[in-house]
Structure 1
Amino acid sequence: MPSSGTSTSTPLLHSHVTDAVKAPSFIRLSENVVLARFETLKIYAALGAVRALLKAGTIRPGDTLVDSSSGIYAIALAMVCHRYGLRCHIVASTTVTPTIRAQLEILGATVDQMPPARDLRLDQHRRVERVQELLRANPGMHWMRQYHDPVHYRGYREMAELVREALPDTPLTVVTSVGTGSSSAGLIQPLREDDPSTRLVGIQPFGSVSFGSEGFQDPEAIIAGIGSAIPFDNVRHELFDRVHWMSFRHAMAGTVALMRAHAVFAGLSTGAAYLAARWEAQRHPERMHLLVGPDTGHRYVEQVFARHREATDPATLEPVEIASLDELTPPWSTMAWARRGYPTRHSATSGMVVGARRSGRPAGRG
Structure 2
Amino acid sequence: MIHPHIADALKVPDLIRLTDGMVLLRFESMKIYSALGAVRDLLDRGVVRPGQTLIDSSSGIYAHALALACHRYGMHCHIVASTTVDATTLAQLEVLGATVEQVKPSENLKLDQQLRVRRVREILADHPEVHWMRQYHDDIHYLGYREIADAVAAELADTLAGRPLTVVGGVGSGASTGGLVTHLRRTDPSVRLVGVQPFGSVTFGSQDHHDPEAIIAGIGSSIVFDNVRHHLYDALHWMDFVHALSGSVALLREHAVFAGLSTGAGYLAATDAARRDPDRLHLVIGADTGHRYVERVFARHAEARDLTTLAPVDVSSPEEMTMPWSTMAWNRAACPAHWKEQAA
The answer to whether the 8 Å contact 2:199/2:215 transfers is: no
In 2, the alpha carbon distance for the partners of 1:260 and 1:195 equals: 34
Aligned partner (choices 12, 16, 19) of residue 27 of structure 1:
16
Give the CA deviation at 1:283. Answer: 1.1
Pick from 71, 79, 89: which aligns with 2:60? 71
| Aligned match of 1:90 | 79
2:196 aligned residue: 203
Partner residue in 2 for 1:330: 323
Contact kept? 1:24, 1:37, Cα under 8 Å: yes
Instruction: Write the distance in 2 (CA, Å) between the matches of 1:343 and 1:309.
Output: 40
Question: Is the partner of 2:220 in helix, strand or coil?
Answer: coil
In structure 1, the gaps of 5 or more residues are 1-11, 351-366
Aligned to 1:5: none
Deviation at 1:343, TM superposition (A): 2.9
User: 3-state SS of the aligned residue for 1:286?
Assistant: coil
Deviations 1:92-130 (A, max 9, x none): 111100100000000000001122222211111111111
| Separation in 1, partners of 2:105, 2:119 | 15
User: Which residue is 1:216 aligned to?
Assistant: 209
Structure 1 position 186 matched with structure 2 position 179: yes
Task: Could you list the structure 1 runs, at least 4 aligned residues long, displaced by more than 3 angstroms after superposition.
Answer: none
The equivalent residue for 1:146 is 135
CA contact (8 A) 1:93 1:114 kept: yes
Residue by residue over 1:266-298, the C-alpha shift from the partner in whole angstroms, topping out at 9 and shown as x without a partner, is: 000000000000010111111000000000011
Find the aligned partners of 1:283 and 1:166 in 2 and give their Cα distance. Answer: 25
Match of 1:6 in 2: none
- Say if 2:198 and 2:215, in contact at 8 Å, map to a contact too: no
Instruction: Give the counterpart letter for 1:112 in structure 2.
Output: E
> What is aligned with 1:45?
34
Q: Which residue of 2 aligns with 1:174?
A: 167
Structure 1 Cα separation of the partners of residues 77 and 257 of structure 2: 31
1:201-350 matched pairs, under 5 angstroms: 201-344=194-337, 345=340
- Alpha-carbon offset, residue 13 of structure 1: 0.8
Q: Distance in 2 between matches of 1:343 and 1:113?
A: 34
Q: TM-score, structure 1 length as denominator?
A: 0.90
* CA shift in 2, pair 1:222/1:208, >3 Å: closer
Identify which of 77, 91, 101 aligns with 1:102: 91
CA contact (8 A) 1:176 1:201 kept: yes
Indicate conservation of the 8 Å contact 1:218/1:247, yes or no.
Answer: yes
- SS in structure 2 at match of 1:167: helix
Q: Once the two structures are superposed, what CA deviation does each residue of 1:5-62 show, in whole Å capped at 9, x if it has no partner?
A: xxxxxxx111100110111110000001000000000011101111111011000101
**2:114 corresponding residue in structure 1:** 125
Q: CA RMSD in A?
A: 1.3
- Give 1:175 shift: 0.1
2:151 to 162, 168, 189: 162
Q: Report the secondary structure of 2:257's partner residue.
A: coil
Which structure is larger by alpha-carbon Rg, 1 or 2? 1
| Cα distance in 2 between the residues matched to 1:217 and 1:166 | 40
In the aligned structure 1, how far is the partner of 2:214 from the partner of 2:290? Answer: 16
Q: Cα offset for 1:174? A: 0.2
Write the distance in 2 (CA, Å) between the matches of 1:105 and 1:346.
40
Aligned to 1:134: 123
Encode CA deviations 1:56-80: one digit per residue, 9 max, x unaligned.
1000101000001111110010001
Amino acid at match of 1:210: T
Partner SS state of residue 13, structure 1: coil
Whole-Å separation in 1 of the counterparts to 2:92 and 2:115: 23
The TM-score with structure 2 as length reference comes to: 0.96
Partner Cα distance (1:250, 1:49) in 2: 33
May I ask how many residue pairs the two structures share in their alignment?
338
Is the contact between residue 254 and residue 272 of structure 1 (CA under 8 Å) also seen in structure 2?
Answer: yes
Gaps (5+ residues) in structure 2? none
Q: What residue identity is the alignment partner of 1:146?
A: Q
